[in-house]
Structure 1
Amino acid sequence: MAEFDISTDFDHLPVIGLAEEYQPSEVHSTHSHRRAQLLYASSGVMSVTVSSANYTIPPQRALWIPANVPHEVSCRGHVSLRTLYFNDELAARVEQESFIVEVSDFLKALILELVRLGTTNSYGKRSQLITELLLGELISMPPAPCTVPLPEDFRLRRVCQHILEDPSNKLTLDDLAAIAGMGRRTFSRLFKVQTGVGVAAWWRQVRLMEALSMLSSGERVTTVALAVGYESPSAFTSVFQKTFGMSPSEYRSSEVIQHTQQ
């Protein structure tokens, strides 16, 4: 496992900000950081795998990753990455597990300003105040439904990989059990024990994660619905609205507008 270190030139700073651009399909294989990280894309969608979960991160959300936690990052399209790295003292005030949060306009502004200030080799009173506001906002924001838990059992992981690679496939429960090399009942029971949800609910979340990526890229709702395995746009819209509190077309419009404003 590789460790991506931030330059030691900035070790004295409580918060380090980094802005980078990544190309479509670019992958950062499993690595970790010496500091806790707030991973945010001002545009584009990332897929991040931590040991126990897979996260989809569109621009309305950010992912907290504690220090020294291995993770892999995949870019679904062009990604404008804005990352903050926190020293141990600041990180101790936040959860010690990975979690994903909604990014309000206020939180976004704080992230972008700290990124701008983050590698100026100074950390004054204004930076301190912004950091305090950001940590308070980060802790108080609600968790976002963009996560699928991953099982520990390697046989179940094999099944999950099949679904993650193609959320629209038509494999039956018997097919999935066969891939795992288990009986249907054993497979269903163990899957729920290790992920906390049934196979159908887990698969639905994967489909929605893929839909977020496609909608963020400007794909039409009908195209997305069929591509992720729904029989009709109306069925897809119903599930999407219930999960995210907005219709797919509303989400798509907000993403397209945000991208053109970058």
Structure 2
Amino acid sequence: MLPPSTTGQILNPDLPVVSIAIDLEREQGAPHTHPRAQLLYSIEGVMRVITSLGTWLVPSTQAVWIPSMIEHQVIATEAIAIRSVYVDPAWSGGLPSDCCVIAVSPLLRELILRAVKIGNSYPSVGPERRLMEVIVDELRQMKRAPLHLPMSRHPKIRKVMDALVERPADPAKIEAWAKRVGTSARSLSRLFVKETGMSFGAWRRRLRLMEAIERLGQGESVTQVAFELGYQSGSAFAAMFRTELGVSPKCYSLQDSG
């Protein structure tokens, strides 16, 4: 595992935002925390971010927000180019207190890239400092995207989750899963909602969506991904995609991007 960067450990209110650029190729970072909150953004490739409460799959159109001292791990299943910014605790007012995936606007993307070019030794007054404050203002207006997959430590729920993560296309209904873990379908349904805030069906759709985005980003065709994830037609798969993200799966397809 790659050791964590020390950039997030910098504490200095005169540096509202500090940044880092890291390129990874099929690697994973060690679980870690830092006192600065972080906007973890990959300008190329899809990264997976894991915490004890859930998993986030983050394509290059989005970023994941990680509050101060939340343990997390980054996994690159393909080549990714991370351009990340960290916010000093003194500037955290109005920023989310929980992890979330956000849509990265063209303005925020350019601000992040500019911050990386400026570096972390800018003066406390002047245009560089003002740009960093604009980044904080933009982060306070973040819009969340639905790419969080909540997990559970409950043994029966976790057994179902782990099996589906291994085989997202498994078509078994909740009655079959309940039998496998020794409970009733009604009890398992209630546990899913209690533990994740989502029904079993909604959780499985979210898992398949995240798996689809990762596979599309690796160059698989929309049709191939649809059938391998258990959808009977490409149109049914596209409908799920639009319902969850408001866009066609072609927006995430490497084959259609070039």
TM-score w.r.t. length of structure 2: 0.88
Aligned residue for 1:236? 237
RMSD over aligned CA atoms reads 2.5
Aligned residue for 2:208? 207
Q: Which amino acid aligns with 1:79?
A: I
What is the aligned counterpart of 2:18 among 11, 16, 22? 16
**What do the CA deviations read for 1:211-260 (whole angstroms, capped 9, x no partner)?**
11122223211011112221211110111122222211233269835xxx
Instruction: Tell me by how many angstroms 1:120 deviates.
Output: 4.2
Q: Which amino acid aligns with 1:189?
A: R
1-structure distance, mates of 2:104, 2:228: 27
Q: Which amino acid aligns with 2:140?
A: I
Within-5 A mapping of 1:48-127: 48-120=49-121, 122=123, 124-127=125-128
Give the 3 Å change call, closer, same or farther, for CA 3–187 of structure 1 in structure 2: farther
Bigger shift: 41-50 or 126-135? 126-135
Give SS of 2:231's match: coil
Aligned residue for 2:224? 223
Aligned residue for 1:4? 4
Give the 3 Å change call, closer, same or farther, for CA 60–146 of structure 1 in structure 2: same
Q: Which amino acid aligns with 1:165?
A: E
Bigger shift: 122-131 or 146-155? 122-131
Aligned residue for 1:134? 135
1-structure distance, mates of 2:79, 2:71: 23
Is contact 2:9-2:36 (8 Å) kept?
A: no
**What do the CA deviations read for 1:94-124 (whole angstroms, capped 9, x no partner)?**
1111111100111111111112223346555
Give the 3 Å change call, closer, same or farther, for CA 91–170 of structure 1 in structure 2: same
TM-score w.r.t. length of structure 1: 0.87
Give SS of 2:48's match: strand
Is contact 2:149-2:207 (8 Å) kept?
A: yes
Give the 3 Å change call, closer, same or farther, for CA 124–160 of structure 1 in structure 2: farther
1-structure distance, mates of 2:126, 2:229: 48
Instruction: Tell me by how many angstroms 1:32 deviates.
Output: 1.5
**What do the CA deviations read for 1:12-45 (whole angstroms, capped 9, x no partner)?**
4332211111112x22243222321110000111
Q: Which amino acid aligns with 2:147?
A: C
Give the 3 Å change call, closer, same or farther, for CA 18–155 of structure 1 in structure 2: same
Instruction: Tell me by how many angstroms 1:185 deviates.
Output: 1.7
Aligned residue for 1:260? none
Give SS of 1:32's match: coil
Give the 3 Å change call, closer, same or farther, for CA 115–232 of structure 1 in structure 2: same
Give the 3 Å change call, closer, same or farther, for CA 233–126 of structure 1 in structure 2: same
Bigger shift: 4-13 or 136-145? 4-13
Bigger shift: 158-167 or 176-185? 176-185
Q: How many residues align?
A: 255
Give the 3 Å change call, closer, same or farther, for CA 27–253 of structure 1 in structure 2: closer
